[in-house]
Amino acid sequence: MTMVRDVMTKDVKVCAPHDSITAAAQIMRDVNCGSVPVCEGKKVVGMITDRDIVLNCVAAGKDPGSVHCHDCMTSDVISCSPDTDAHECAKLMADHQIRRIPVVENGEMVGICAIGDLATMNIHINEAGDALSQISEPLH
């Protein structure tokens, strides 16, 4: 049985709640991803996505240098533990239509599991593919 700890990324770039939207966007560019955890210390308090930035900042005509992450982030974060089964993690991604899940242990973020992490494992390629196809479909 493969656990999330076996496939997760341990060195995760994060934003603080008072960091600017520009800082979050620069992390997304540098890491080549569409979402970044927002943390107070090692505690995950939100996730900010490229879509959050576009809808809540750019489309609203706000200055990305002066809007903070806590103004745009989603605070209802779906997370898992390092001991979560990789199959269950893929199901969480599909059910919640997300591509990255913070991995939390004892209240602290210890890594992140991305859909690509699951897809690298042959036994999960179909599940990750199914999760991705469901993620990419609009909600009904």
> pLDDT tens digit string along 52-95?
999 999 999 999 899 999 999 999 999 999 999 998 998 899 88
pLDDT of 125 > 50? The answer is no
Q: Regarding predicted confidence, which is higher, 55 or 137? A: 55
What confidence category does residue 116 fall into, taking pLDDT thresholds of 50, 70 and 90? confident
Q: Quick one: tokens of 5?
A: 């700890």
- Choice between 128 and 99, residue whose per-residue pLDDT is larger: 99
Residue type, 2: T
Cβ pair 1, 83 in contact under 8 A: no
Residue 100 has pLDDT above 50, yes or no: yes
Domains of the chain: 4-136 (3.10.580.10)
Long-range contacts at 65-69 (CB < 8 A, ≥ 24 apart): 65/20, 65/21, 65/22, 66/20, 67/20, 67/21, 68/17, 68/18, 68/19, 68/20, 68/21, 69/15, 69/16, 69/17, 69/18, 69/19, 69/20, 69/21, 69/23, 69/24, 69/38
Alpha carbon distance 37, 79 (integer Å): 11
**What does the mean pLDDT of the chain come to?**
88
**Which of 16-20, 47-51, 96-100 is least confident?**
96-100
